Amino acid sequence: ESLRAETTTVAACGYCATGCGLRLHVRDGQAVGLTPETDYPVNLGMACPKGWEALEVLDADDRATHPLLRDSHGELKRVDWDTALTTFTERFKAIQSEHGNDSVAFLSTGQIPCEEMAFLGALAKFGMGMLHGDGNTRQCMATAVTAYKESFGFDAPPYTYDDFQQSDCLVFVGANPCIGHPIMWERVLRNPNSPEIIVLDPRRTETAMAATQHLQLRPKNDLAILYAITQHLIASDLIDHEFIAAHTTGYDDLAAHVAAFTPDAVGPAAGISADEIRRAAESIGQAKAASLWWTMGVNQSYEGTRTAQAMINIALITGNIGRPGTGANSITGQCNAMGSRLWSSTTNLFGHHKFESAEDRQRVADILGIDVDKIPTETGWSYDRIVEGIRNDEIKGLWVIATNPAHSWIDRGDFKELLDKLDFLVVQDMYASTATAQHADLVLPAAGWGEKEGTFINSERRYGLLKKVRKAPGEALADFQIFRAIAAYWGVEAMFADWTHPEAVFEKMQAASEGRPCDISGIKGYRQLDQCGGIQWPWSREDAAAHATPPQERRLFADGSFCHPDAKARLIVDNITPMPEPPDQDYPTLLMSGRGTVSQWHTQTRTSKSKVLRKLYPERPYVEIHPTDASLIGVHNGDMVSVRSRRGEVFVTAMVTPTVQQNQAFIPMHYDIINELTLRHFDPHSRQPSFKDCAVAIGKA
């Protein structure tokens, strides 16, 4: 039988926040292949291996195909949807009636479309009466959100992908786009300006190897170095006085604060020379267009918010914002982390409104056509507080949607016991086999990317369209349909009567965004998103009236006007926080974690299902250790070693490599072991876990 496609269509990829366009080749309503789209504004006609393999993982044997309910023998057994939803409703309602509405919480994701996030947040909080719910975006983007909100007045990554190509000085802090965001990195390679590429990273990553300046700092010295760069910029008068006076507040405090952070004072303790700091500062200060980029090395840190803001400060005081090739730019991780920030009604009320504001609540209630009293008057707990709530018996029921905290949560040593301690755990996922699903009382089988519709927002604020090009296996349903069904079983279907399909919810999102920095009221439905290869926010009615089609590349703050009431950006500084668990005699090595490869994603829930992706990456967990450290403990490349922290011990293969410095080690986040070791601590402003610093001892196994 011929597999020749009858037609093709383009959809945004469902892994990372690059948001590449993938052309799906469809026959009999089913995608039979895909190729990267050559005419999509994001991806230069390319895709990384994960995108190429996006269809393969839909056919995995362990897809959740039917609802599963744990029976009296502890076995998950197939049930029909009626039994599943009746049980869901009865068990959660019983818990709420015994322990209060707030005793049931949800943990969601950055992996489902905006419309589904909006539905989940509204259903859980306004329909089911929950107060507490958070997303796994707390583990990746919360720091950037907090930093932008405080500095700019809104969670607003200012850049557009063209900035990678227009900059003549790019600074990457705690970021390895070469493997983490390879299509973005391709743009750096295509930059025609022979740019200076400055990398601050303790590891000699693939990106650091390509840098013109690699500041190979000791871990957790990034904030001090950024302050030293700021000090040298000020001392050398490489700053934009006019921009500072017109568009910022807090300059005097900033200058006074960083005065002591001279390169000579900071360099030796940070493990680099003062000259390296001065050279980096001068490259930034003398560039025509400097841009600063960060990812998880900054966000997943106990002082991440202030570190991100130190980068924002540098962009602001040098006038590197709002122009081509500039910006203080958080590179988002998940395909729809920004959708979660805007629409999930977790940290913000629907559309970045405030739960605490009566005016905001009324506006959202009017747009959604619900009673304003249904909207909580306070923001619910953050992820870590929900986990503590389980530990303290405050949370008795948990609904987990498209995330795998039993693998990914920091210091997850007792997390599985916590899941078992719950009175009722529901996991809604594409796969019934995740570490978290194994502890569920009820598994709801969900459709995945390619099996449903909606929108994702990528790193440059572009709404891209997700398409249904496959039928979900068995009785699996789109999360959207599951939420509709739950609304009916819960008895709140009237509240969601017009939430009939994703585009109907998109229209509500447009209404809620109107007049706000994230305004998308000018988008003419999914059809225009499809025609344009996605559209960046903001795109207001006024924008749409003034332009026939949205320009392909748009950045924020071109007029120097920020989102605080006085339109000025804030320059924010803070004291340096000591590392909570520095290496010592017993645990002499500092363990870092992070993305280890271009071919795997997060906890490998999906990517491990592809033979091709598995072949591109060692199946067994490994630890990178420095050759000198290895020889001191008599370990050779490929030997088994034990890695032990105060929380646990794991056994992994040694990868002896000078990519890490002496007394430092690295284990990729993709293996289900790393969080046996990590230390439970958080950025105090964003409540984001600090995954990348714990003391361990490594020995021959």
CB of 341 to ligand SF4, least distance (A): 18
The count of chain residues that interact with ligand SF4, using the rule CB under 6 A, is 13
The nearest distance, CB 20 to ligand SF4, in angstroms, is 3
Q: Choose among 645, 662, 646, 643: nearest CA to 654.
A: 643
182 binds ligand SF4 (CB under 6 A): yes
C-beta of residue 516 within 8 angstroms of C-beta of residue 351: yes
How is residue 472 annotated by DSSP?
Answer: P
Counting contacts by CB under 6 A, is residue 179 touching ligand SF4?
no
Nearby residues of 268 by Cβ (< 8 Å), 6 or more positions away: 274
69, amino acid identity:
L
Residue 23 touching ligand SF4 (CB under 6 A): no
Residues 25, 50, 138, 681: which binds ligand SF4 (CB under 6 A)?
Answer: 50
Task: Tell me which amino acid residue 54 is.
Answer: A
Token pair 């059809």 is at which residue?
527
Q: Is 572 in the site for ligand SF4 (CB under 6 A)?
A: no
3-state helix, strand, coil in the chain (%, to 5): 35, 20, 45
Question: C-beta of 48: minimal distance to ligand SF4 in Å?
Answer: 3
Positive or negative CA dihedral for 518, 519, 522, 525? Answer: positive
CB distance 128 to 487 below 8 Å: no
- Establish if 20 lies at the interface with ligand SF4 (CB under 6 A): yes
To the nearest 10°, report the CA torsion of 555, 562, 144, 149.
-150
Judged by beta carbon, residue 379 or residue 597, the one nearer ligand SF4 is 597
Binds ligand SF4 by CB under 6 A, chosen from 51, 327, 448, 464: 51
13 lies in the site for ligand SF4, by CB under 6 A: yes
**Binding residue (CB under 6 A) for ligand SF4 from 120, 130, 179, 183:** 183
Q: The tokens of 90 are what?
A: 């009865």
Q: How far apart are CA 204 and CA 208, in angstroms?
A: 5
Q: Which is nearer to ligand SF4, 20 or 591 (CB)?
A: 20
Nearer to ligand SF4, 212 or 597 (CB): 597
Of the ranges 11-19, 78-86, 244-252, 667-675, which one interacts with ligand SF4 (CB under 6 A)?
11-19
Part of the chain binding ligand SF4 (CB under 6 A), chosen from 41-49, 171-179, 304-312, 372-380: 41-49
Site for ligand SF4 in 278-317 (CB under 6 A): none
Residue 122 · residue 284 · CB < 8 Å: no
Q: How far is CA 611 from the centre of its chain?
A: 26
Task: Out of 5, 19, 300, 327, name the contact with ligand SF4 by CB under 6 A.
Answer: 19
Which segment (48-56, 215-223, 449-457, 623-631) binds ligand SF4 by CB under 6 A?
48-56
Contact segment (CB under 6 A) with ligand SF4 among 16-24, 259-267, 433-441, 476-484 equals 16-24
The piece of 17-25, 360-368, 373-381, 405-413 that touches ligand SF4 (CB under 6 A) is: 17-25
Min separation Cβ 404 and ligand SF4, Å: 18
- Residue 76 binds ligand SF4, judged by CB under 6 A: no
Residue 48 in contact with ligand SF4, rule: CB under 6 A: yes
Q: Of these, 5, 11, 15, 688, which contacts ligand SF4 (CB under 6 A)?
A: 15
Determine contact, residues 427/436, Cβ cutoff 8 Å. yes
Interacting positions 603-662 with ligand SF4 (CB under 6 A): none
Angle at CA of residue 604, ends 475 and 132, nearest 5°: 70
Q: Which is nearer to ligand SF4, 376 or 594 (CB)?
A: 594
Which two three-digit tokens encode residue 558?
A: 């071109």
Nearer to ligand SF4, 51 or 322 (CB): 51
**Span near ligand SF4 by CB under 6 A; candidates 12-20, 250-258, 269-277, 586-594:** 12-20
Of the candidate spans 13-21, 114-122, 235-243, 678-686, the one that interacts with ligand SF4 by CB under 6 A turns out to be: 13-21
Residue nearest to ligand SF4 as judged by C-beta position: 51
Backbone angles phi, psi at 146, to 5 degrees: -65, -45
Which residue in 34, 47, 118, 270 binds ligand SF4 (CB under 6 A)? 47
Q: Find the Cα–Cα–Cα–Cα dihedral 265, 269, 274, 280, rounded to 10°.
A: -110
Q: Which stretch binds ligand SF4 (CB under 6 A): 43-51, 199-207, 565-573, 687-695?
A: 43-51
Shortest Cβ 21–ligand SF4 spacing (Å): 9
Question: b vs e for 292-315, b when ≥16 Cβ sit within 10 Å of the residue's Cβ?
Answer: bbbbbbbbbbbbbbbbbbbbbbbb
Site string for ligand SF4, 139-178 (x = CB under 6 A): ----------------------------------------
In the list 10, 11, 16, 311, the residue contacting ligand SF4 (rule: CB under 6 A) is 16
Element (H, E) at 484: helix 479-490
Q: How many CA atoms lie within 13 A of 660 on its CB side?
A: 27
Task: Count Cβ atoms within 10 A of the Cβ of residue 85 and give its class: 0-12 exposed, 13-18 middle, 19 or more buried.
Answer: buried
Beta-bridge mates of residue 451: 468
One-letter amino acid of 112: I
Shorter beta-carbon distance to ligand SF4: residue 13 or 258: 13
Task: Choose between 351 and 454: whose C-beta lies nearer to ligand SF4.
Answer: 454
Which residue in 5, 18, 92, 572 binds ligand SF4 (CB under 6 A)? Answer: 18
Report the distance separating Cα 547 and Cα 533, nearest Å: 16
Based on the shown chain and the rule CB under 6 A, indicate whether residue 339 belongs to the binding site for ligand SF4: no
- First-to-last alpha carbon distance for the chain, in angstroms, is 53
Shortest reach from residue 156's CB to ligand SF4, in Å: 21
Residue of 381, 377, 488 whose CA lies nearest to 102: 381
Question: Between residues 185 and 499, which has the closer beta carbon with respect to ligand SF4?
Answer: 185
User: CA-CA distance, 367 to 370, in Å (whole number)?
Assistant: 8
Taking the least distance from each CB to ligand SF4, the nearer of 37 and 155 is 37
Question: Is there a contact between 298 and 222 (Cβ–Cβ < 8 Å)?
Answer: yes
Stretch that binds ligand SF4, among 14-22, 314-322, 604-612, 655-663 (CB under 6 A): 14-22
Q: Least distance from C-beta 22 to ligand SF4, angstroms?
A: 7
Beta bridge partners of 353: 349
Whether 55 and 31 have beta carbons less than 8 Å apart is answered as: yes
Q: Which is nearer to ligand SF4, 12 or 447 (CB)?
A: 12
Helix axes 222-235, 304-317, angle to 10 degrees: 20
Strand (E) positions, 166-234?
169-173, 196-200, 213-215
Torsional sign, CA 43, 45, 47, 53: positive
The CA distance from 133 to 169, in Å, is: 40
Whole-number minimum distance, CB 166 to ligand SF4, in Å? 20
**Near ligand SF4 by CB under 6 A, which window of 42-50, 220-228, 552-560, 631-639?**
42-50
Of 146 and 336, the one with the shorter C-beta distance to ligand SF4 is 336
Using CA atoms, how far apart are residues 108 and 112, in angstroms rounded to an integer?
A: 9
Residue (of 174, 170, 205) closest to 190 by Cα position: 170
- Contact residues toward ligand SF4 (CB under 6 A) are 13, 15-16, 18-20, 43, 47-48, 50-51, 182-183
